[in-house]
Chain A
Amino acid sequence: MNRKNVSATFSRVTAVAGLLAAGAALAQAPGQPSAVIRVDCDHACLIDFTERYLDALVHRDTTRAPFSPRVRFTENNVEMPLGNDGLWGTINAVWEDSMAMADEQTGNAVWFGIVEEHGNPAYLALRIKVEDRQITEVETIVNRLPDMPKPFGDPTRLYYDPAFSEIEPPENRVSRERLVAIADGYFSTVELNDGTIFTPFHEDCGRVENGIRTTSGGSGPGSAGSIAQGCEEQLRLGIYRINKRIRERRYPLIDEERQVIVATGFFDHANTFDRYTLTDGREMRTVLKWPNSISLIEAFKIKDGKIHRIHAVFTYVPYFMHSPFARPNLDFQTR
C-alpha cells in the first residue's frame, strides 16, 4: 500500500464517519432536539409557570420560581440580568385580571396583563420558555407612560376576550402551519398597507391594542377606529401605510386546540413621507415625523380559519432596534 492509497482510505473513512454524524444530526427538523417532542409540561403546567414567574416578579425574589442558571431575560429588547433591573426593580403589584396562553410543543407560555410600578399601571406582555421544568427564556414588552403618542387604554377597563381560551372543535381547526401563514399574512397586509389583503379575516374580527379597541368605536381624533371600523375594512383603506417593514416576525407559541398563535416582531416606521392617501382618496398625516419602531407581542385567535381576535401590547423602541431572540440571518433577512 503506498502513501496515496493510505490517504485515500483515510479520506473515505473520514467521509463515512462524517456522513454518519451528519445523518444523526439531521434526523429531525432543524432546531429540534428530537424527532419526537417530549411534553413534560402541558398546557396547565405552562400556565402555572407564568403564575410562578409573576409571583417571583412581584416579590422581587427570583428564588420563588425555577429559573435555569442560564436564563435569558429581556425587557423591551434589552438583555439584562434577571432579578434586579428593569421592571424587577420598580414593580409593586400585578393585577389579577389577565390572559395566558401556552404551547406544549415549544414550551412557551405568554401572559398579558397589568403591572404597577410605584403605583403607575403599565401593560405587560410576557413570554417565558420552559425546558426541563426550568424557565430558560423571559421576553417582556412593558408599555408605560409617559411616552410618545400611542394607544394606552384605561387599564381598569381592559377587556380580555374569552375567545382566546375557548377550545375549538377539531373539525374547525387549521394546522400549525396554516396558523403561522394566517398571522404572517396579517403582517404582510399591514406592511406597506395599500389595501391588498394577504390573509382571511372573520367578519366579526376585532383588535385590542394596549387596551384600546382600535377596530371599533372611536378613541379620539385620528384613531384607527374613528377612520374605519373592522380589521379588514381598515386594511382595505390602507390606513397603516406607514409600516415600512414588519420585521423579525417570530411565532413562538401556537395552540392548535384553541386556534391561538402568538407573534413577536417590530413595526418600522421610516416616515420618509409625512402624508399619504387612503384608497378612498382621503389624505392622512403622520403623527410622528421621524423614524421610530414599535416592538410587540401580539396574539391571534383564529376561528374557522380566519382572524377573529387580535390582542397586542407594544411600545416604542429606537428605529430598527433588534430583538436579542431573533436570528439575525433568518428573521431579519427574510423579514
Chain B
Amino acid sequence: MRRFNVMPNTHFRAAETVFRSTAAIAAVALLSAAPTAGAQSTSPRAAAMASAPSGCDRDCLIGLADRYMAALVDKDFSGLPWAERVRFTENDVGLMMGDGVWGTVTKIDDDPFKLADPATGNVLWVGIVEEHGQPAYYAMRLAVEDGRIAEVETVVAREGTPAHFAPTADYRVDDTFSAPLPEAERRPRERMIALVEGYYNTMQLNDGQLLGEFAADCKRVSNGVDMTHGENVPAKGCRAQFEIGYYKPVDRVRARRYPIVDEERGVVVAFAMLDHAARYTEYQTLDGQTLSIPVEYPNSHRVMELFKIRNGAVERVEGFAVFQPYLMPSPY
C-alpha cells in the first residue's frame, strides 16, 4: 500500500530537520542556562524566518522570478544567479536547464500572477506562455537559497491531452489571490495548510463526508475551466459537489506540498498528484445521479493550485492540471 506524502518536499524537509536539530540543541543549552528562556518559539519555521534562509525578501524573490522569466523568453539562462547545485523539472521530469519549454517558448504573459514566501524562500510565477505560438497554462516555482536559484519547478498544461483545457485568450488568475485580507479574516499559516489538507482529504475517495471548511460560494477553476459553476456540473460549488461525492474517482491526492503561504493575502500554493485508478467507468452520486469518468484508463494529474483562505474556510481554488502517467512519481 502506498502512503501519502503529506510532508513538504524533501529539500524543505531536510532544511526543517536541520533547523529542528539546531533549535533543539539551542533549547537544551538555554534550558541549562536559564530555564525560563524556554518560553520562546522553537518551531522550525520561526528559526527559518529568523535566519532568512533564502537571503532574499519578498521583492528580491519576485525580482528573481521576473529575471528567470525574462531569461526564458530570451532563451539565455547564463546571467541568472544559480546555486552550486540546481534542480530543474518540467512536469515532474528532471531536465538540464535550457531543455523543455526553454526550447519551444515564443512568448510569455505580460500580466502574470506572482506570489513570494520569504519564510521558505519560494516564489511562484503563473500565467500563459506560448510555444511556437500555441498557448499553454504555465506555473513556475523558484526555491532560492542565499540569494541564488536552487530549484526551478515548472508545470505546463498544454492543449491536446485528455485533460480539460479552456481557451486561454481571456485567462488571468483571479484578483482575489492578490488582494490582502482584513486582519480579522486572516488565519495562521499552519491553519491555512490544514484547511487545504482538509480540502484534499475530502476530495480523495469523496463519499460525502466533509473533512474541511468550505465557503458557501467556494469556486474551483482548473486550466481555465470553471469546475464548480460551469455547464453540466452535477452540483454548484465546492461544498455541494463534495456533499454528493462528485470527486469519488479521485482515488488519492498524493505528494502534497505547500511551499508558499501568504497569510496577508490568505493564499496557499499547493502542489499535488491526483490519482485516478479508473477501476469503474460509471458511478452514482449520493443524490442519485449516474456519472461517467472522463478517461476510462488509469491516469494521474499533476496539479498546482492556489487556495484562497478567508475566515477559516476555502473560498476559491484555481490552478492547472497536467495529464500524467498513472502514479507518476513527484521528484520533490
User: A interface vs B, CB < 8 Å?
Assistant: 75-78, 80-81, 85-87, 89-90, 117-118, 120, 122, 142, 144, 146-149, 270-272, 274, 288-291, 317-322
Contact = CB atoms under 8 A, between A and B. Distances in A.
B3 interface: no
Nearest to B329: A78
A144 to B, nearest CB: 5
B30 interface: no
Contacts of B329: 78
Contact of B2 (A81, A274, A321): A81
B160 A320 contact: no
B328 A318 contact: yes
Contacts of A81: 1-2
B327 interface: yes
Chain B interface mostly helix, strand, loop or mixed?
loop
B100 A317 contact: no
Contacts of A80: 326-327
Contacts of A320: 90, 93-95, 99-100
Q: Is the interface of A mostly helix, strand, loop or mixed?
A: loop
A259 to B, nearest CB: 33
Nearest to B136: A290
Nearest to B129: A290
Contact of B100 (A120, A146, A288, A291): A291
B167 interface: no
B103 interface: yes
B297 A122 contact: yes
B297 A117 contact: yes
A90 B1 CA distance: 18
A149 B162 CA distance: 11
B222 interface: no
B21 interface: no
B180 interface: no
B91 A318 contact: yes
A85 B160 contact: no
B132 A89 contact: no
Contact of A271 (B103, B161, B278): B103
Contacts of B131: 271, 289-290
Nearest to A293: B93
Nearest to A76: B325
